[in-house]
Structure formats: C-alpha cells, structure tokens
C-alpha cells in the first residue's frame, strides 16, 4: 500500500484533484481506504469514527439456519474449488440454499469434471443455479447439477 500512496501523491502533484486508494489487509479480512487530495476537502472533519459495523448489521438480514444433513433440491449461494499442490482439482464445495430457505454444504467430487469446469469457467454464473443434493456411502452430501 505504501507504494500506491507514493504513486498517488506523485500523480496528484502533477495533476490536481483527488485520488482513492483501496487495499485488503490481514487475511483479506480488513479493508483499508484512503482519499488523497491536492487541496483540503471542505467537508472533511476530524476526529471521526470510521466504525460502520452497526450500519452493516442493520442492513443485513438474518443468516439462514444451517442444516448439516440434507437431501433434495437446492440453489447455489456460493462455491469454491480446492486444488492439490500439483494444480489438479481436489474437489469443489457448494454452499446452497434449500427450498425451505436453510443453508447447507455439499461436495463436488473431482470426478464430476463437467460440474467443476462449469464452476471455474466464467462462461456462466453458477450462483443461483439449481441442482440436487444427494448423500453418498461416506456420508458426504454431493452436489448434482440438474440443469
């Protein structure tokens, strides 16, 4: 971030105006933002509280209840694909919303290459896609694409 600040200051010295810098910190768990200007910002006042957690909480709804064992239709809420050290796909994980609004997890085994290719291709948006969750002999919940 320090390189970005120096670069922005140099640019603002050449061309008057404002500059916005944004960065992630921690383990991508903290956001850092700074506005730099070639002249004071009239509306700025200090000291100032930058804690917006209460505002964020007020806009967020209740988290869906988690159901650990589920079989049936569901829609993808989010997903990720895990890789082995050699770059091959280990498996995928789908966070899904059940038809009654609960949240559950399901695995996409490495053998389900068509589904994994769909998740990582960028050709379509998997979020919202419907499918089925089925159990297997190991007790895992398995995501099956139906559409």
Reported pTM: 0.64
The CA angle 43-45-50, to the nearest 5 degrees, is: 110
User: What pLDDT tens digit does each residue of the chain (147 aa) get?
Assistant: 789 999 999 999 999 899 999 988 777 778 888 889 988 877 777 777 778 888 888 898 889 999 999 999 999 999 999 999 999 999 999 999 999 999 999 999 999 999 999 999 999 999 999 999 999 888 899 999 886
């Amino acid at each position: 971030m320090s390189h970005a600040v120096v670069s922005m200051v140099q640019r603002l010295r050449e061309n008057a105006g404002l500059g916005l810098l944004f960065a992630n910190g921690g383990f991508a768990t903290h956001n850092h933002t700074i506005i730099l200007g070639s002249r004071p910002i009239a509306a700025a006042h200090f000291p100032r509280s930058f804690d917006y957690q209460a505002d964020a909480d007020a806009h967020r709804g209740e988290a869906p209840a988690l159901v650990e064992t589920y079989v049936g239709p569901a829609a993808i809420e989010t997903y990720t694909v895990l890789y082995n050290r050699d770059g091959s796909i280990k498996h995928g994980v789908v966070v899904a919303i059940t038809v009654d609004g609960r949240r559950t997890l399901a695995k996409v085994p490495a053998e389900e290459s068509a589904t994994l290719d769909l998740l990582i291709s960028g050709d379509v948006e998997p979020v919202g896609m419907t499918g089925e969750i089925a159990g297997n002999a190991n007790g895992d919940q398995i995501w099956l694409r139906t559409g």
